[in-house]
Every structure is written in structure tokens, then in C-alpha cells.
Amino acid sequence: MNRIEKKFNELKEREEGALISFITAGDPNPEMTKDYVKGLINGGSDIIELGVPFSDPVADGPTIQAADERALKAGTTPDKVFEIVKDVRNDYDGPIVLLTYYNLLFKPGVENFVKKAKNVGVDGILVADIPVEESELFYNSCKKNEIDTIFLATPSTSVPRLNNIIEKTSGFLYLVSLFGVTGAREKVQEMTIENVKKFKPFTKNKIPLCVGFGISKSEHVKSILNVGADGVIVGSAYVKEIENNLGDKDKIIKILEEKSKMFKSGTKI
């Protein structure tokens, strides 16, 4: 049993949903990421998701795009992200997921990227721009290296395609809760609630269903879990705080811990 599956089993026993916390690795520089991750973990985050900075992150809104730019300017490469993960692993034995784009796997070779990820302790990889229909090499490489393949489903995903995605997904299914790009929203849209209800019958007893895009309050977490989701992914709400407090590392760590604690408080089912 790998770390992601083990974590969801533990949470189920405690009757809690999962808090998956995302930040961009290397934002604003690689040296700070480990400390930011520590803040998220101390606040109660169950799974850490690190974005591998990319020059054209098409699924992301302005907040995470800006974080990618800062990280790239600081010299954050995929190899540097692997170093960060290895460093985090010295103190943390929980699940770590990478969010990346296919170009970053294609350039060094998919098998090479996946093998490096495995060697530093990555548990799952989500490639934001690879359709499941074209994922055979990625899927097989991850399976060979015992890394979970996390795929996206969207509000427009058809039932036949959803079943195909679920078949290739391990770790958890990432439900993009609304149309558009990443970014914190003030309210949970009715579309989000309806999509959780729509997708849950297909994932039940197969794969954890986790919801991302737009979550910025503990009430959002509660409302999403109460209709059947197994976890939530929070990203822009953290990344915005990093942007707002650049240059004050200690303050950022404190805020990330407080935010993580706040979101985690909403995960009691």
C-alpha cells in the first residue's frame, strides 16, 4: 500500500476528508519551499502537491502563473524540484504529489522523469495537459515505478470518458469543479456541488474523489465534503499569500500554517 492510499484509509477511519495543499515549488526561490511545506504540514495538510514551474501553465489562473514566473526566474528546473522533494523527505513521510505539464516530461524522456520522481520519494504525478487517451507511455512508466497516476475530470467529461479516466487513475481523481482556470473564489458555485453529486456514483468504492479550483474558505471545504467528495485541493489561496508577503519568509510560514489549519478544520465529515 502506497502513501496516498494509506492516507485516505487513515482519514476514512477518522471520518475526515483529505486536505491536499498545493504550492509552486521554487516560489519565490527553491531554498524556501521546504520551509513553506513544513508550515502546511504543521497546519494539518494531509497531502502535499508541488507544482513544477512551467512557462505556459494553461490550466492555471494569474496567481499560479505569477508563481511559476517567480520560480523560473529563481532558476527552478524539474531537477531542482526533485532536489526539493528529496529535502522535504528528510523530515516528512506523508504523501507528495507533483503537478506538471507534459513538455517537462517529454524533454528529458517520460521514463527518465518518472524514475527520478520515484527515486526522490514522489507518490503521485498529475500531468495537467495530457488527455487520458494519449497517456499510455506516462501511465505505463508510473505503473512500472509504483507511482500513482492522477487524472483530471471536468464538468464536461462524458460518462464513457469518465469511466476510462477512472480506469487509469490511482491515488485520487482530481475533479475540476468549474469551467475556467485556477483561482480562489468567494463562494462555492452550485455547479461545483452538482458536479460532485454527478461524479460520486462513478468513483464510489473505486477511487477517492477530490475537488479543486476556487476553494478559499473552510465553509467551502465543508459544503464540498458534505455532498460526497473525499477531499479538496487548495492552491491559489496559499500561493496568493506568498505573493502578498514576498520577502517576509517567517510571516509566510506562519500564514501558510494558519491557512492550512483553517482549511483542515472543515474536513470533519
Contact between 168 and 142 under an 8 Å Cβ cutoff? The reply is no
Q: Which of 109, 43, 49, 57 is nearest to 84 (CA)?
A: 49
Other beta carbons within 10 angstroms of residue 109's beta carbon come to 12
Cα separation, 34 vs 209, whole angstroms? 27
Known catalytic residue at 230: no
Q: Which of 157, 162, 125 is nearest to 141 (CA)?
A: 125
Give the total residue count for the chain.
Answer: 269
Known catalytic residue at 136: no
Catalytic residue chosen out of the listed positions 46, 60, 68, 243? 60
Torsion of CA 238, 239, 244, 245, to 10 degrees: 80
Catalytic residue chosen out of the listed positions 49, 68, 230, 241? 49
Residues marked active site are found at 49, 60
